[in-house]
Structure 1
Amino acid sequence: MHIRYLLALSLLPHLVLAEEPASELDSSTQCVVEPPVPRMPATHADATAFELQEIRILSERSEAQMGKKAKFIGNVSFSQGGRNIAADEAILDQENERLDANGNLVFQDQMFTITADSLVAQMRNNSAILSGAQYWLHGQQIHGDAEKLEITPDNNLHLTKTNFTTCPPGDNSWLLEAEKIKIDSSEEWGELWNAKLKVGDVPIFYIPYMTIPISDKRKSGFLFPMFSTSTTNGVEVATPYYWNIAPEYDLTFTPHYMSARGLFLKTDFRYLAGESQHGKLNVEYLANDNMLENSPDRYLYHWEHQGAINENWRVLANFTDVSDNNYFNDMNSEVRAATDNQLSRIGEVSYFEKNWDFSARVQDIKVLGEDETPYQVMPQLNFNYRTPSLWNGLDFDLMSELSNFKHQENEFTTATRLHIEPSISYPIHGPAGSLTSEVKLLQTYYWQDTPDTAQNKDLDNQVSRTLPQVRIHGQINFERFTDYFNENYRQTLEPQFQYLYVGYEDQDNIGIYDTALLQEDYFGLFRERRFSGLDRIADANQMTLGLTTRLFDEHNVERFQFSLGQIFYFNDSKVGISEAGIPSQTFTQENTSNSVLAAELNTQLYKDWFMSGSIQYDTKQSENKKSEVTLDFRPGANKLLQFSYRYVPDLVNTNTNESVNISQAGMRGAWPVSDNLYLVGNWYYDLNESRSVETYAGFQYESCCWALRLSYHYRIKTNYEDDFNPTLDNRELFESGVYLNFVIKGLGGSGPLGVSDMLNDGLFNYRKPLYLKN
């Protein structure tokens, strides 16, 4: 018969462990390591304190003597709150407050499960000892065996002659054996003594003492090393050390040894400033680079910060400096890639309200490998005001900017610019289309200080520029139901037009401080400006015509999109960028009856085949000004084949200032060989130079408890002249290398990031064709 006892006694302590959050890795293989018994349901949040302390005992039969001993036999179950003990036999010594249990013994908590040969629990101090134990930590992949497992009065675990792994039962990929393990329930980490790491039952190293995390809680310690070899750096070994300084601070210090260069030290310090602000500080240093003449010191400083001070105020800061132009080409930096040649230094504070906002900003840009230095913005103040539906459907907007431009070299002009841009617009929107009419007044003031040594001495000390602007933009939406290739579709036809008028004023008396020519892709045809910045506002009297058509299937998923457009000029534009301020930036004026013909295409050709392309074609000169096309085959997760081609003529080489044409073809792929092994590779070829510019091949094996990545790189280097290397003759044009990453999960590593990370591991990042809109 079943007997139930209700005793107000505390049975066993409760070990608190944090549940592991869901992984953010897009392709990481996860194990499900479950104990061989069903888990107990969680205690209801509304349970009373008495119910949490109440002990319930069930058994098939019992022998009890009041106040002394009670013996329970057959399917014995002890439960208290969220804890449960199941055994074949148990003896409760009420006089000594001791519990002995054995036979198919299972102890289960909301956080862990333990099976054992026997259990002795001292209820007086809330401790217990389990012999011949096996344990599983819920929410983690960690499990193992122990000759003796002790639950201490302070809710910690002490394990003697024990082991653990994150691999599934029966999988001996790796196992950590230790003479003793102490698991701290509050700090959520474990201490190990006399530990041996076995891989495939083979001991690979011995550790007298180490600590490991048992949850996602941060813990100081060494991370897994990284190995590689390359033609420019030699053999490389990096051993990161993670320091958990405080809940709001941490630091990763990485000694990175390169046999060809020396010891490269990298520091990554991260911090939280309150609940809404965060940032990081990077310092990298290589003393006496042995690959360069005179063995110079090389370094990097990087600081970034962003966040909200309160509901209205926002802050942003970003500063980077390096020792030389080729730093990112030679060093494996944690901050930027080798293809980056602009270092932006920005500080900004902003204030936002419902109808207006204000910001103050300072900016300096360092361009690596170029003699010319851009202007510094010291500072720039912006004020914007918006009043939707001001009167009878009219919207009012005001944009204003006050900027001060300085240059590091004294022979350049300095200037202060005030720009005020009020506008009134009348938007009409509906399912059938839209029509927006807009009038602007562009008022700009310049105060310029031109030294006698300046290359351009024709700039006026004061300039006032007033330009009217009128813009009318309209679009009509047509749609019909049709069928193609025996499939039903909804097709849209969306013609649009834009008339733009901007007044003319001679602006050669204004320097060039932050202005450059913008691209003329399809979406750029409907811009209001030909130039970025405000130093040149091109006059315009033009009409833009564009057409977009789309196909939606029966599930309203967009399968096809094609856009075509061109600008027609009623008058030639008289405003261009001449040699002023920055001599290297020279652009011709617009003297043609129409712009390039720009087209964009995104389509799902058939099932898993996708195609994306764009072209800018000069119909007057019958010349291709820019084009690119990609063909993708994506049959499933982490399965990809991509073929691409791009052509860009008249691109200026920053090293030689010569005009070159870019004509490159490439292919990229990622494919799983099995559930755990996948391959990634790419190859890009320069058709003009008849040579490969990048080759990448790699494979990654990832199980739920370990991961291995091996990759090979061959790529062209972007070399610049600098003080360390006044000529390019002594620098290698190409670099090749082999890279190895190995991670054992559960010992502080999370494993490689998977296919997406490998696809972006190169000069040419993977660019997925634009997803069609649903």
Structure 2
Amino acid sequence: MRIFMASLFCAGLLALSLPVLADDGPSTDIFQKDAPVDLTADTVSFDKGTETYLATGNVVVKQEGTTLTADKAMINMQSGAATAVGNIVVFDEGGNTLRGDEMKMNIKEKTVVVANGRIFYKVENIHLRGDPIRKTGRETYNADSISYTTCDCPDDEAPAWSFTASSAELIVGEYLTGWNAFFRVKGVPLLYSPYVSMPIKRERQSGFLQPKPGYSKLRGFIFKDSFFWAISKNTDATFDIDEETKRGLGKGVEFRYIRTRDSYGEANFFHFKEKDIKRVREFRKGVDNLARPQNATDDRWRFKWQHNENLPSGVLVKARVDMISDDEYFIDFGKGTRERSLESIESNLSVNKNWSIYSLTAQARFFNNLLVESDRATVQMLPAVALTSSNQRLGVTPFYISSESSFVNFVRQEGLKGQRLDIHPRISLPLRPGGYFDFTPSIGPRATYYLVKNDPNGRFTDRYIYDVRAVLTTTFTRVYFPDTGGLRAVRHTIRPGLVYTYIPEAVQTDIPKFDSVDDIAQANRLTYSLNTIFTGKFKGETKPVYRNLVYFNLSQSYNINEATRKLLTTTDRHRPFSNVLGDARLLPDERINFTMRGSYDVYHHWLASYDTGASVSDTRGDSLSLTRRFIRAQADYFEAAARARLAASWDVTFNKRFSFVEGRSLETSYGIDYRHQCWSYLLTYTMRPEERIVYLTLNLLGLGRVGGIQGRIEPL
């Protein structure tokens, strides 16, 4: 009986003291009735008259990875009243702790009061203090004189920042809400609020994201902020505000949903009310706007929606909608170089079904040409249907057949419109001469039929053409075993290739020109290539890790027709060789990456185009990336991004975009990033041709990273 009563005594202490530490969800059933309870103390006594247990001296109660320690503990089995005093600590395997000077409980009423209570949530690094802290329900608590912070500091020092309140309520796994609250820095009150709410859970939480203040001459004072709403476990939304005192006001909403694992999507809408669009154009008059029409008004907006739906029988539906208010939108609101230089955007709906051999795709594609005032003459594909089949053997013969066929209905308000049916099968004969080479000759007859409307001359006809291809390849492989450090083996693969392509000349002047399918160029060329790859095998923790160390590919074509044509003048020359195309990637280490893609003009002896990049980083936090993009007589850009860790808490950042064609910087940004244990800030200064912007972003650990920053939504 005494052992049973002692176990009940321990269970009572743990059952009441531990729910405040629950962080895996709303459940607070930490005490397991069937789990063993271990009690140790210098002395344990039982008073039969009052039915009171008393444990004194180094009291330790353990159950299921949870431990309570105190100087003294007492429980009255008749009334259910229990008390623990002196250096009270309750902790679990996750590192969460509850501390206090005195703990009074009633097992029957399931209530608890902790004097000078201190709670620590390890994962979120949240420190809560209250005097006292009271358990008021299964999952609810309240406290007086409470403080909230994520800063670590000694008990006799004030944290770097904290929120204090005269009273507060706490819901396990949800929020702490307080009244008469102050925001303090090193104990000094700076801001007052009659009400405050702070997250105390790991899952997604509704709340304001970190604000982003700034300033520029064009925009004036800038204030950007967002509110994240965790609607349910499978839906959430973000509401944005973008206040620019000299320019206007922006509002946005983003909604994300997952109906099932096979049905999910995202929609967002942004609207910006300009105070004066002419003033904005004046600021960016020196910026290359790709000759876009100036059709923007003071109301600027963008709507985007994308949805994926996997229907029964393997049918995949994808919807993408992208609509903007004006052709100048991306000049002012584009995110990055790619968006700012967009020449068109597309909205589409596609339905796809794959079988073992066949694939059927139906699409509706709508294009918005940003370089023209009106899209009345822009060709739309409503619908476009494509049927493809992979190689399959023709009966018992050695031949194989594949096909690519499509039907497109071209529509537009002005100009030619109509339908096109394109049928393009291919018959091939895979061979392996001598057992060393792969040789595959093939022929692809092609028939294209047109039904054209709005044809003033009635001169369009159908087209019949064919192409012949022959592919010759082989592969050489050798494995080396350097066994240097973590590198166990290196496989070197060399793959030379030779491709012959022949397409006869076809009269195509009497067919409409909707897209590239309607203009197939004559060809009689030989393309030769060399591909080499070094693949490293590294020792991993549980299994080997493979990584390409070197990738290199070269190719060039020889135009037989050009080499054999009749020269037209005495200065005319044959130029049968195409540019040499190269693609190289070097990854000597996981943190070092070099890339190079380019084309070399063998007649002018210059690089016609290239795209090079290099990036390096270290475990300390330093990083550097450089990119150069060049197209002769068209574009020449240089981009750089660097981060240097000056100290454990200090980083400086630098970003640069420069146009050699324009001879000026397109964007330069400097930043200072400071990280404290429980807070950080990022100060950036950005220079663009049209403006200078200063941004300051402050992040309080536990408050600035909520919702969409670190949460995720789940299907029902």
Give TM-score, length-normalised by structure 2: 0.82
Change (3 A) 1:476 1:242: closer
Residue 58 of structure 1 pairs with residue 60 of structure 2: no
What amino acid maps onto 2:678 in structure 1? C
Task: Give, in angstroms, the shift of residue 86 of structure 1.
Answer: 1.8
C-alpha distance in 1 between matches for 2:53 and 2:337: 67
Three-state SS of the structure 1 residue aligned to 2:365 is strand
C-alpha distance in 2 between matches for 1:753 and 1:145: 27
Task: Give, in angstroms, the shift of residue 668 of structure 1.
Answer: 3.2
Hey, what does 1:121 align to over in structure 2?
105
For residues 37-186 of structure 1, what are the structure 2 equivalents within 5 Å? Answer: 50-52=33-35, 55-66=37-48, 68-81=51-64, 83-109=66-92, 112-170=96-154, 172-185=159-172
Residue deviations 1:360-400 (CA, integer Å, cap 9, x gap): 21111212233574411101122233355665775543332
Three-state SS of the structure 1 residue aligned to 2:302 is strand
Three-state SS of the structure 1 residue aligned to 2:169 is strand
C-alpha distance in 1 between matches for 2:79 and 2:165: 34
What amino acid maps onto 1:176 in structure 2? F
Residue deviations 1:285-332 (CA, integer Å, cap 9, x gap): 233532427973222222222242346122211112222222222237
C-alpha distance in 1 between matches for 2:188 and 2:397: 82
Conserved in 2, the CA contact under 8 Å of 1:633 and 1:642?
yes
Residue 250 of structure 1 pairs with residue 233 of structure 2: no
Residue deviations 1:630-651 (CA, integer Å, cap 9, x gap): 3444444642334443321243
Conserved in 2, the CA contact under 8 Å of 1:707 and 1:752?
no
Task: Give, in angstroms, the shift of residue 506 of structure 1.
Answer: 1.7
Hey, what does 1:624 align to over in structure 2?
607
Three-state SS of the structure 1 residue aligned to 2:116 is strand
Residue 615 of structure 1 pairs with residue 591 of structure 2: no
C-alpha distance in 1 between matches for 2:509 and 2:83: 96
Residue deviations 1:649-689 (CA, integer Å, cap 9, x gap): 243xxxxxxxxxx2344543222112222222133433343
Task: Give, in angstroms, the shift of residue 337 of structure 1.
Answer: 3.7
Residue 224 of structure 1 pairs with residue 228 of structure 2: no
Task: Give, in angstroms, the shift of residue 477 of structure 1.
Answer: 1.9
Change (3 A) 1:326 1:637: farther
Hey, what does 1:399 align to over in structure 2?
404
What amino acid maps onto 2:674 in structure 1? Y
Residue deviations 1:37-77 (CA, integer Å, cap 9, x gap): xxxxx98xxx9x6414x654332322213471111122223
Conserved in 2, the CA contact under 8 Å of 1:212 and 1:748?
no
Task: Give, in angstroms, the shift of residue 146 of structure 1.
Answer: 1.6
Task: Give, in angstroms, the shift of residue 451 of structure 1.
Answer: 4.1
Change (3 A) 1:205 1:708: same
Conserved in 2, the CA contact under 8 Å of 1:467 and 1:504?
no
C-alpha distance in 1 between matches for 2:81 and 2:574: 98
Change (3 A) 1:50 1:687: closer
Three-state SS of the structure 2 residue aligned to 1:328 is helix
Task: Give, in angstroms, the shift of residue 610 of structure 1.
Answer: 5.1
Higher helix residue share = 2
What amino acid maps onto 2:7 in structure 1? L
Residue 350 of structure 1 pairs with residue 352 of structure 2: yes
Hey, what does 1:444 align to over in structure 2?
448
Task: Give, in angstroms, the shift of residue 189 of structure 1.
Answer: 1.8
% identical aligned pairs: 21
Task: Give, in angstroms, the shift of residue 607 of structure 1.
Answer: 11
Three-state SS of the structure 2 residue aligned to 1:329 is helix
Change (3 A) 1:612 1:302: closer
C-alpha distance in 1 between matches for 2:261 and 2:526: 50
Conserved in 2, the CA contact under 8 Å of 1:75 and 1:87?
yes
How many pairs were matched up?
656
Conserved in 1, the CA contact under 8 Å of 2:59 and 2:72?
yes
What amino acid maps onto 2:470 in structure 1? R
C-alpha distance in 2 between matches for 1:336 and 1:644: 14
Conserved in 2, the CA contact under 8 Å of 1:226 and 1:740?
yes
C-alpha distance in 2 between matches for 1:498 and 1:162: 76
What amino acid maps onto 2:248 in structure 1? G
Task: Give, in angstroms, the shift of residue 206 of structure 1.
Answer: 1.3
Three-state SS of the structure 2 residue aligned to 1:537 is coil
Hey, what does 2:703 align to over in structure 1?
747
Hey, what does 2:7 align to over in structure 1?
6
Task: Give, in angstroms, the shift of residue 547 of structure 1.
Answer: 1.7
Instruction: Give the alignment partner of residue 421 of structure 1, picking from 406, 419, 424.
Output: 424
Residue deviations 1:516-545 (CA, integer Å, cap 9, x gap): xxxxxxxxxxxxxxxxxx222333222111
Hey, what does 1:475 align to over in structure 2?
474
Hey, what does 1:770 align to over in structure 2?
none
Conserved in 2, the CA contact under 8 Å of 1:459 and 1:511?
no
For residues 480-629 of structure 1, what are the structure 2 equivalents within 5 Å? Answer: 492-515=493-516, 534-551=517-534, 558-572=548-562, 592-603=575-586, 611-629=594-612
Task: Give, in angstroms, the shift of residue 191 of structure 1.
Answer: 1.3
Task: Give, in angstroms, the shift of residue 133 of structure 1.
Answer: 1.4
What amino acid maps onto 1:382 in structure 2? A
C-alpha distance in 1 between matches for 2:639 and 2:532: 29
Hey, what does 2:321 align to over in structure 1?
319
Conserved in 1, the CA contact under 8 Å of 2:205 and 2:707?
no
Residue deviations 1:146-199 (CA, integer Å, cap 9, x gap): 2111223323222221112112234822111122222212x6222121221123
C-alpha distance in 2 between matches for 1:245 and 1:81: 34
Residue 385 of structure 1 pairs with residue 389 of structure 2: yes
Hey, what does 1:681 align to over in structure 2?
654
Conserved in 2, the CA contact under 8 Å of 1:260 and 1:290?
no
Task: Give, in angstroms, the shift of residue 258 of structure 1.
Answer: 1.0
Three-state SS of the structure 1 residue aligned to 2:34 is helix
C-alpha distance in 1 between matches for 2:593 and 2:38: 63
Change (3 A) 1:334 1:109: farther
Change (3 A) 1:561 1:80: closer
C-alpha distance in 2 between matches for 1:490 and 1:245: 52
Residue deviations 1:459-495 (CA, integer Å, cap 9, x gap): 50x4143424333241332548699xxx997655432
Hey, what does 1:707 align to over in structure 2?
680
What amino acid maps onto 2:323 in structure 1? D
C-alpha distance in 1 between matches for 2:581 and 2:445: 29
Conserved in 2, the CA contact under 8 Å of 1:442 and 1:469?
no
Aligned alpha-carbon RMSD (Å)? 3.7
What amino acid maps onto 2:407 in structure 1? L
Conserved in 1, the CA contact under 8 Å of 2:359 and 2:389?
yes
C-alpha distance in 2 between matches for 1:635 and 1:97: 60
Change (3 A) 1:124 1:741: same
Hey, what does 2:289 align to over in structure 1?
none
What amino acid maps onto 2:166 in structure 1? E
Change (3 A) 1:116 1:425: farther
What amino acid maps onto 1:128 in structure 2? V
Three-state SS of the structure 2 residue aligned to 1:504 is coil
C-alpha distance in 2 between matches for 1:70 and 1:265: 64
Bigger Cα displacement from structure 2, 622-631 vs 386-395: 386-395
Three-state SS of the structure 2 residue aligned to 1:287 is strand
Task: Give, in angstroms, the shift of residue 85 of structure 1.
Answer: 2.3
Gaps of 5+ in 2: 280-295, 539-545, 565-572, 711-716
What amino acid maps onto 1:505 in structure 2? A
Hey, what does 1:235 align to over in structure 2?
221
Residue deviations 1:86-123 (CA, integer Å, cap 9, x gap): 21211110010111111221223567420111111110
Hey, what does 2:692 align to over in structure 1?
736
